[in-house]
Amino acid sequence: MAEDNRVLDLRRRGEAAGIPDSSAMTADELSRTLGKMAKGIDAETAKQAVVENEDAENPG
């Protein structure tokens, strides 16, 4: 239940922050994207960096 609340909170924050397609992201992706945004990176660039990093770590 606590994990569900965490995911819902992250999705709500992601949507409010303007992260594109935040509803399709995992809790970890949202958390990392919001962290990058807190450092001044715009929403789309932050999401792209998180998603591309995951693709590089998990090829194929």
Mind listing the pLDDT tens digit for each residue in 27-38? 999 999 999 999
Give the span between the Cα atoms of 7 and 57, in whole angstroms.
23
pTM of the model: 0.85
**What is the domain extent for residue 46?**
2-57
**Which pLDDT tens digit goes with each residue over 15-57?**
999 999 998 999 999 999 999 999 999 999 999 999 888 766 6
Number of domains in the chain: 1
Give the span between the Cα atoms of 49 and 40, in whole angstroms.
13
Q: CB-based burial of residue 36 (10 Å sphere; 0-12 exposed, 13-18 middle, 19+ buried)?
A: middle
